Amino acid sequence: MAVSPLNPVTVLIQRREFLEGVKEIARLCNWNAEEVDNLTELVWKELIVIDNHMFEIYTQTHNPTLAWYEWETKTEELRQWLSLMFGIKIKYI
């Protein structure tokens, strides 16, 4: 069995903190509670897809550098999408 290139507990903590930040930004942009919940669910699902993709690349290639590159590429796409949605520049995920 392949070992994840990232500590899963650390990743979950980072995801929770990130989602809380997304919620706060949405509230500051005057989104209603339902919109905030919908966005949080969508972002959570996208983060799961990104992490699973990274792990799949790692298990197929056993190359942590390639897996990390794929993760960085996908998170950059998510960052750009959120920046456009909120109308503000999000610097990192």
- 32-86 residue pLDDT tens: 999 999 999 999 999 999 989 988 999 999 998 999 899 899 999 999 999 998 8
Both tokens of residue 36?
Answer: 């905030």
Grade residue 10 by pLDDT with cuts at 50, 70 and 90: confident
- With the C-alpha atoms ordered 10, 27, 38, 77, is the resulting torsion angle positive or negative? negative
* DSSP label of 38: H
Alpha-carbon gap, residue 72 to 64, rounded angstroms: 12
Alpha-carbon gap, residue 30 to 61, rounded angstroms: 44
Q: What's the pTM?
A: 0.80
Block residue for tokens 């500590």: 7
